[in-house]
């Protein structure tokens, strides 16, 4: 497995990480616990060392799953988790909205340490920027946790370039996690240049467009009501029909390289910067192995120009999030 370093932090991880959310949360049916533990072990066996979870996934069930599954690999893997949502720890109820007050950050850290069964959280992201709490206060709270040995690295998710700069001035940021893929390239305008300037790694989530870029979803695919795609404007049957041409183009390029659409999409991300580490989510071994195959796909400058030329002719239909979730991004 190839390794990559997230920015100037010296945090070395596998070139592809693994998003764990859907193993126990996000759409029905969720994965069987023992099967998901075996799946996580298989991921480690294949060389993956970077795993992504969050307290809000469940709440808490995903952290508990990841903590149990990876407890025997302590010191060999990097586990990232997140804080920032308003959750009642005693009832496990998501109360709605955001909460990044320093006292809540400290509470989440202590509780996540127990659920993950680790002595220190490898990478602690603010899941969404809280407009009611100055980012300097958030960074300061995480800085104190780092000084206390409870957290090793600080990250932000879906933050604006200005917010990144303000937080980084208080506590150096190791990684920014935001959506980034062949069909969501907004981070290229300001976020990636800011990361490069400040020496921050970048972790794209949904690098396969929530499955659409795999070529396995079309206008006739149905989604469970618990699946975010059932509420997303980009995944309406009409949008999927219109967007199919995008996947067809990737498939054509993949055919020339002996690669699947998913492998082209991931290889394209890996080719953008050496400090980019995508975290595709999966819970099936065949998908995991397909994704890992992307590491061996070499895209030449000519290949990248061909991809750029092809996709520039396609206008993607539909916003990536419902309106209430879209407003929590790029703050």
DSSP assignment string, 297-328: PPPPHHHHHHHHHHHTT----S-SS-HHHHTT
**Alpha-carbon gap, residue 304 to 190, rounded angstroms:** 21
CB count within 10 Å of CB 63 equals 27
- 125 belongs to the catalytic site: no
Distance CA 156, CA 149 (A): 19
Q: Beta strands 18-19 and 121-126: pairing type?
A: unpaired
Active-site residue identified among 25, 57, 205, 235:
57
Give the burial string for 281-310 (b: 16+ CB within 10 Å, else e).
bbbeeebbebbbbbbebebeeebeebbeeb
What is the per-residue DSSP string for 135-162?
A: HHHHHHHHHHHHHTTSEEEEEEES--HH
**Residue 101: both structure tokens together:** 């007050």
Nearest to 66 by CA among 4, 55, 176: 55
Please give the positions annotated as active site. 57
């Amino acid at each position: 497995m190839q390794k990559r370093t997230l920015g100037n932090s010296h945090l070395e991880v596998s070139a592809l990480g693994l998003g764990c959310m859907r193993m126990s949360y996000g759409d029905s049916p969720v994965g069987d616990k023992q099967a998901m533990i075996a799946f996580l072990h298989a991921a480690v066996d294949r060389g993956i060392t970077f795993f992504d979870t969050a307290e809000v996934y469940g709440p808490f069930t995903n952290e508990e799953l990841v903590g149990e599954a990876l407890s025997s690999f302590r010191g060999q893997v990097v586990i990232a988790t997140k804080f920032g949502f308003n959750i009642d720890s005693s009832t496990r109820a998501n109360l709605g909205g955001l909460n990044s007050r320093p006292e809540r950050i400290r509470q989440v850290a202590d509780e996540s340490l127990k659920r993950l069964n680790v002595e220190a959280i490898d990478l602690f992201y603010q899941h969404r920027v809280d407009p009611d709490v100055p980012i300097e206060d958030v960074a300061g709270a995480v800085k104190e946790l780092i000084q206390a040995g409870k957290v090793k690295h600080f990250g932000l998710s879906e933050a604006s370039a200005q917010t990144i700069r303000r937080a980084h001035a208080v506590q150096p940021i190791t990684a920014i996690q935001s959506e980034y893929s062949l069909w969501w390239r907004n981070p290229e305008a300001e976020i990636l240049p800011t990361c490069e300037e400040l020496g921050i790694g970048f972790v794209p989530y949904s690098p396969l467009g929530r499955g659409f870029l795999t070529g396995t979803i079309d206008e006739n695919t149905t989604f469970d009501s618990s699946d975010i795609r059932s509420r997303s404007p980009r995944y309406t049957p009409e949008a999927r029909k219109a967007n199919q041409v995008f996947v067809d183009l990737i498939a054509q390029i993949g055919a020339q390289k002996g690669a699947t659409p998913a492998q082209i999409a991931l290889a394209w991300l890996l080719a953008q910067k050496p400090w980019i580490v995508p975290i595709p989510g999966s819970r099936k071994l065949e998908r995991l192995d397909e994704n890992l195959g992307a590491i061996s796909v070499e895209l030449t400058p000519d290949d990248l120009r061909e991809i750029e030329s092809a996709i520039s002719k396609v206008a993607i239909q539909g916003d990536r999030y419902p309106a209430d979730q879209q407003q929590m991004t790029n703050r």
